[in-house]
Amino acid sequence: MPATIAIDERDVLLVIDMQNDFMPGGALAVAGGDSIVPLVNRLAQNFANVVLTQDWHPPGHISFASSHGGARPFETIGVAYGDQTLWPDHCVLGSPGAALHKGLTIDHAILILRKGYNVAIDSYSAFAEADGETPTGLAGFLREKNIRRVFACGLATDYCVAWSALDARSRGFETFVIEDACRAIDAQGSLGAAWAKMEIARVQRIESTEITAKNRQDRRPFGSGSV
Ligand code: VGL
Ligand code: ZN
């Protein structure tokens, strides 16, 4: 049994893309995506710093198969910045599918970060767009907040969670993926490939039971608010 991990003010919980389109019945459904909502809510109570992300694409986005003539979802094509997997239209900005799942109760989140809003560049990662260059600003935000460790959860393990975790590592944060608080797309072996990359990058793969912070309600200055 690994040592437990005590959460403090220099930790952030990154809750990735818990949006309707990634839930069962959504445009790019992730199996069991809705089943992690209660766990993510409970985890968040242990963190003073929580950042939520939203995948947020304009109509005609480069990642949509519908933007490329006869292309089909889950095909990969070459674009200016490299390979791009194509998806069904999803998380169109302002649409109900792009909204956060209504069961999330994380009112104390300090930032909701949108990504993928550039029509010509996808962004799985919460830190940088798929060209590998264009920053979202999250690293600067976390550094200014004196954050040292990033704990990632949400959807999908093999895409936005993995890319965000890898980028957190490359930007110098100690990084953890809370496996049971994620769900995967797992198209064509993508989940195994993602874990392999994360292992090489020394992203730590943990379970939610390893996190043992006191509940937020027990801590100052968060003691008075409702959840
Ligand atoms: C995601 C595919 C396309 C994700 C976003 O949130 O993992 N996957 N856009
Ligand atoms: Zn997307």
How confident is the model at residue 210, as a pLDDT?
Answer: 96
pLDDT of residue 105: 97
Instruction: Work out which ligand 1 atom sits closest to the CA atom of 19.
Output: 6
Q: How confident is the model at residue 188 (pLDDT cuts 50, 70, 90)?
A: confident
Domain map of the chain by residue range?
5-58+93-218
Task: Indicate the average pLDDT of the chain.
Answer: 93
Residue recorded with tokens 């959460």 = 7
- pLDDT, residue 222, reads 41
Pocket of ligand 1 (CB under 6 A): 17, 22, 55, 63, 87, 124, 155-156, 159-160
Note the ligand closest to the C-alpha atom of 90: 2
Which is the closest atom of ligand 1 to the Cα of 163?
7
pLDDT, residue 217, reads: 53
Q: Whose CA is nearest to atom 4 of ligand 1?
A: 160
Distances (CA, A) of 5 to 85, 95, 204, 206: 36, 38, 12, 10
* Cα 73 to Cα 87: distance, rounded to the nearest angstrom: 4
pTM, rounded to two decimals: 0.93
**Active site members:** 17, 115, 160
Q: Does domain 5-58+93-218 have CATH number 3.40.50.850?
A: yes
Look at residue 214 in the predicted model and tell me its pLDDT: 61
Which residues neighbour 70 within 8 Å (Cβ) at sequence distance 6 or greater? Answer: none
Quick one: which ligand is closest to 126's CA?
1
